[in-house]
Amino acid sequence: MTNNFTLTIAQGTDASTMDPFAHSETTTANILLQMYDSLVRRDSEMEIVPHLATSWEYVSDNEIIFNLRDDVYYHHGTKFTASDVKFSIERMVDPKMSDIFPPAGRFNSMVSAEVLSDYQVKVNLHRPDPNLLAQLAGLMIISETYFKEAGVEEFSVLPSGTGPFKMKTWNRKDGKVYLERNEDYFLGKADMKYLEFHAVPHGVDRVEGIKNNTYDVVANFPPLDKEVVEKVNGVTVVGTPSVGIIYMGINTHHEVLGNKKLRHAISHGINMEKIIEEELVGCGYPLAGPVYPQAFGVDENQKPIEYNPNKSRQLLKEAGYEDGVSVKVEVPDGRFTQDKEICFKMKEQLQEVGIHLEVDVRPWEDFIGKFRNHQFDQMYYVGWGNFTFDPDEVYRNAFIHPRAWNPTHFSNDKIEEIAIEASKILDQTKRKELYTEALTIFREELPWVPLFQQFDLYGLNEEWCFKPRMDEFIYAFDIKKNRG
């Protein structure tokens, strides 16, 4: 039975591009995931399962063959084949594109792909990669034919993938994306005929929208509104621990923040447990390092940084700032749950120990532009959604210079050595030992102040059945209409 349902999803920001390779934001990915597919994907339990690839086999530690589906078509009508996989992989790993494609560092174990037949492709690696499949779950396959016909500029605004939804229009002025169902999707038809994404930066507006039925799913739902909203008939709030972590990145080359004792003074002056309770209603977990505890190889013996104002004051004195110091953090407006509100809470706490924190609130477009162009002068408040469930994602991309995701150019020879070694060995026991050592160095150097692991909340119109995913992704195809 055909239906004409519309599902409307509100996120904090609009897509920054429609080129699936040229961004690093979950909000952009959530839009593109509706139109593109990957070789493999994670199911709702976060297990890697076949998708465009039906099976795979390692020929050697440096070669893997994928067998592909033969019943998949792009929205513009051409058939998906192995040549598209080769083109997609080699476009992503092209050294000339590494500065343009923020995720390029994830995929740098791959050097090329060979078409063995229309539906079989071999991927060649320059090193063994323990995270190859996890990374490929995030590599959307694009059409070689469409890309070459459209050109880079048109491709970045008019996508054509194999996914369950097709692009109708992108209203960038109003931050709205309109999609319609792909009636010929290889896994069947989605429950909704039309799908909309609305950029709604302010939490109060997202809350009002779920209450008055403007939106059906609201991401980054403000925890403080959970109890009130759940009293509204037909609305609920659902959630899950997330791969998203929130941290405060620090420019360790800055004339003030280059002082390690000052960085530690800042970390001990923040009462994260209190902030989580007051601003997030307990929806979050203090972090011990740059990776959430559910990931492989995270040292469970390392505890979150202790809130200790007396120690903070002593470190501030030892750093040479007994009379106080001023530092600045830049924070996006509405991209992360309670982002600027949390920064103002940190400002209050740090003021008590003699650290004046200037909070510079910026629109997301400005903020992410500075991130990509490595223009942060002092500190920045941001999140990292590590969907690989492995420390490699962070250590190799954030703590080796130069890297797209290392906007303040932090480097440490020993961390770099560990990150590179752990990225190319398959012995998981040895890798775990290496990441324990890396975490110890991270805690000593403190290029980030790790704040908290997110507990993602979503406002939900109860006419729809939606199960939040730990990887933060929204697959509208998996959302079903409640017809009872």
Tell me whether residue 284 is in a domain.
Answer: yes
Tell me whether residue 110 is in a domain.
Answer: yes
Question: Which whole number is the average pLDDT over 300-324?
Answer: 97
Tell me whether residue 66 is in a domain.
Answer: yes
Residue-wise DSSP of 20-70 = TTS---HHHHHHHTTT--BSEEE-TTS-EEESSEEEEEEEETTEEEEEE-S
With beta carbons less than 8 A apart as the criterion, state whether 325 and 353 touch. Answer: no
Q: Are 235 and 261 contained in the same domain? A: no
Q: Are 196 and 320 contained in the same domain? A: no
Q: Are 236 and 285 contained in the same domain? A: no
Tell me whether residue 409 is in a domain.
Answer: yes
Instruction: Write out pLDDT tens, residues 183-210.
Output: 999 999 999 999 999 999 988 999 999 9
Cα–Cα dist 219/474, whole Å: 9
Residues 6+ apart with CB under 8 A from 242: 292, 385, 453, 454, 455, 456, 470, 471, 472
Cα–Cα dist 58/49, whole Å: 16
With beta carbons less than 8 A apart as the criterion, state whether 280 and 338 touch. Answer: yes
Cα–Cα dist 26/386, whole Å: 10
Instruction: Write out pLDDT tens, residues 358-390.
Output: 999 999 999 999 998 999 999 999 999 898 999
Q: Are 232 and 251 contained in the same domain? A: no
Tell me whether residue 21 is in a domain.
Answer: no
CATH number of residue 183's parent domain:
3.40.190.10
Q: Which residues pair with 171 in a beta bridge?
A: 176
Q: Are 269 and 209 contained in the same domain? A: no
Q: How high is the pLDDT of residue 2? A: 54
Encoded tokens for 60: 């050697």
Tell me whether residue 29 is in a domain.
Answer: no
Number of structural domains found in the chain: 3
Question: Which whole number is the average pLDDT over 226-252?
Answer: 96
Question: Which whole number is the average pLDDT over 166-188?
Answer: 98
Tell me whether residue 31 is in a domain.
Answer: no
Q: Are 266 and 315 contained in the same domain? A: yes
pTM for the model stands at 0.85
Amino acid (1-letter code) at residue 127: R
Q: Are 72 and 165 contained in the same domain? A: no
CATH number of residue 277's parent domain:
3.10.105.10
Q: How high is the pLDDT of residue 405? A: 87
Of residues 401, 419, 418, the one with CA closest to residue 410: 401
* 189 φ/ψ angles, rounded to the nearest 5 degrees: -95, 140
Instruction: Write out pLDDT tens, residues 244-268.
Output: 999 999 999 999 999 999 999 999 9
Residue-wise DSSP of 382-413 = EEEE-TT-STHHHHHHHSSSS-TT-TT----H
Which residue has better confidence, 393 or 354? 354
Q: How high is the pLDDT of residue 484? A: 65
Q: Are 70 and 182 contained in the same domain? A: no
DSSP letter (8 states) at residue 73? B
How does residue 305 score in pLDDT terms, banded at 50, 70 and 90?
A: very high
Instruction: Write out pLDDT tens, residues 396-433.
Output: 999 998 888 899 999 999 999 999 999 999 999 999 99
With beta carbons less than 8 A apart as the criterion, state whether 330 and 367 touch. Answer: yes
Our CA dihedral for 336, 339, 341, 346, rounded to 10 degrees, sits at 150
In the numeric block, the tokens 């060995």 are attached to 425
Q: Are 167 and 136 contained in the same domain? A: no
Of residues 346, 467, 471, 459, the one with CA closest to residue 8: 459
Q: Are 236 and 249 contained in the same domain? A: no
**Mean pLDDT of the residues in the chain:** 96
Surface-to-core class of residue 153, CB atoms within 10 Å of its CB (0-12 exposed, 13-18 middle, 19+ buried): exposed
Tell me whether residue 27 is in a domain.
Answer: no
Encoded tokens for 190: 């989605």
Q: How high is the pLDDT of residue 1? A: 41
Q: Say how many C-beta atoms besides its own lie within 10 A of residue 326's C-beta.
A: 11
Range of the domain at 58: 37-143
Domain limit, last residue, from 86, 120, 143: 143
CATH number of residue 122's parent domain:
3.90.76.10
Q: How high is the pLDDT of residue 334? A: 82
How does residue 106 score in pLDDT terms, banded at 50, 70 and 90?
A: confident
Q: Say how many C-beta atoms besides its own lie within 10 A of residue 177's C-beta.
A: 25
Q: Are 285 and 192 contained in the same domain? A: no
Q: Are 225 and 172 contained in the same domain? A: yes
CB < 8 Å & 24+ apart, contacts of 237-240:
237/457, 237/458, 237/459, 237/460, 238/457, 238/458, 238/460, 238/466, 238/467, 238/468, 239/283, 239/455, 239/456, 239/457, 239/458, 239/468, 240/455, 240/456, 240/468, 240/469, 240/470
pLDDT at 108 > cutoff 90: no
Which residue has better confidence, 438 or 4? 438
The strand pair at 325-332 and 379-385 is best described as: parallel
